[in-house]
Every structure is written in structure tokens, then in C-alpha cells.
Copies of this chain bind each other. A is one copy, B any other.
Amino acid sequence: MAASLGLPLNFKVGVDNAIFSVDPAQNRLLVLLVMRESEPFLGQWSLPGTLVRHGESLEDAAYRILSEKIQVQNLYLEQLYTFAGPGRDPRELSDSQPLRYLSVSYFALVRFEEAQLMGTGVRGIAWYPLDEVPHLAFDHNRMVEYGHRRLRNKLEYSPIAFDVLPELFTLSELYQLYATVLGENFSDYSNFRAKILKLGFLSDTKMKVSRGAGRPAALYRFDAEAFAPLKDKPLVFI
């Protein structure tokens, strides 16, 4: 190490995605894992990742792996955190010249019902409930933690829920999403309802939909124009 201090240090740069989704049927918060098919950590679960290619931005790379693993029409994606400590990838040691592996993690939220996992049974890819995530390759467990924290914050302070709901949705679908992500100590349905309607960016389409038994629910639509003035304001949906 001491001998290499003067040498120019190069990096390999990868992108890893922490992709979250909510299964509305089971009310569970899920994260997408893939089985590693090469060394290091062959056969271990990990986040879907890739090395950044020529002419490609970090975000491009993030979208590329995402679309290689699942097909979705709607999603929210943003940069999460960058990990680059020495020793985070075992390949550093085996390389002849000084090299480090840096990974920029991205956070994504996708719609569960429309997400099509790519690859047949042979290729390991699966949704894992957040409280059953196994030990992952590299520092990917930390990425999942960071992502989970970001998800909760984003949901409270910004309208990412509407990037991931169908264009028309009922207020209980919206409530289920919030309650699943934010946990049990969340506002009750009737207060949530009153609060979010008062904010004024949900427009009633006057259409109704019946989900099994019970009174049919009104379908709402997110009104981006009405939301615009609230942007960057300390909105709290909780």
C-alpha cells in the first residue's frame, strides 16, 4: 500500500439500484433482489447493478439495469448515496494495478401490479419483503437501509406516490400505500382523507369503482397543476 501511494488511482464505477414496491394484496413493502451470476459473491443475493458504460450518465446506467430486470411504465428514480471505501470489492486485491470500485446507489419506486420481472426461473430474481432481506453481496444491505429511509421521507414530503399509482385511484388505495410504507403509527383513514383532500391537488373524476363488497369508491386523479404551487413547500402528508 505504502509503495503505491504515489501511483495514479483509477476507479471502476458501478450503479446499484434499490428498487422498492408495495404489494397491495398483501400490504407488504418489497425490494427487488437478483442472484449474482459471477464472481465475486457468485450465487449470493444482491441489488441489481452494472458498471457504467461509455457515454452513459449514472442515471442512464440506473435506468438501463432497471429495464433489464423489470418492465414498468411508471416509476420514480433518484440518486441515493455513493459508496467507495477502500476494500468494498474483493476484486481490488486481485488486480495487478491499483484500482478501486465505487458504487453509486439509486433509489426507485415502481408499481407492483405492472412490474414484470424479466428472466425465467433459471435466473434468480425476486421481490423480498423488507423484513426478510437476507445477507447481501458487497455493502448492499446498507444500500437497502438507506433506500428505506429515503422512501419514508420522500413519501411524506413529496408526491412520489402518484408516480406509482394508476392514473385513476381511490383514496383507500392511496391510504394503503402510505400505511404500508409508513407503518402502523400512521394517521387513521378518515383524518388522512380529510387532510389530503384539503390540500386541493386531487380531483374527483366523478367515476366510481367497486372492489368486491362494500360501497363503490370514488376515483381520483393527481392534478399536477394544482400541486405546482405547493412544490418545495414543507408539505406533510402524514
Instruction: Identify the A interface with B (CB < 8 A).
Output: 1, 4-5, 7-13, 51-58, 79, 81-82, 84-86, 98, 100, 102, 104, 156, 234, 236, 238
Q: How many copies of this protein are present in the complex?
A: 2
* A79 / chain B contacts, CB cutoff of 8 Å: 81-82
A98 touches B9 (CB 8 A): no
A199 smallest CB distance to B (angstroms): 18
CB contact between A53 and one of B9, B57, B82 (< 8 Å): that residue: B9
Q: How far is the CA of A217 from the CA of B238 in the complex (A)?
A: 38
* A234 / chain B contacts, CB cutoff of 8 Å: 156, 236, 238
CB contact between A84 and one of B9, B81, B104 (< 8 Å): that residue: B104
- Closest B residue, CB atoms, query A1: B55
* A102 / chain B contacts, CB cutoff of 8 Å: 11, 13, 102
* A10 / chain B contacts, CB cutoff of 8 Å: 10-12
Q: How far is the CA of A11 from the CA of B99 in the complex (A)?
A: 10
User: Assuming the A-B contacts A79-B81, A102-B11, are A1 and B86 also in contact, with contact meaning beta carbons closer than 8 angstroms in the complex?
Assistant: no
Q: How far is the CA of A238 from the CA of B236 in the complex (A)?
A: 14
- Closest B residue, CB atoms, query A7: B54
A9 touches B57 (CB 8 A): no
A86 touches B11 (CB 8 A): no
- Closest B residue, CB atoms, query A81: B79
CB contact between A86 and one of B12, B55, B104, B236 (< 8 Å): that residue: B55
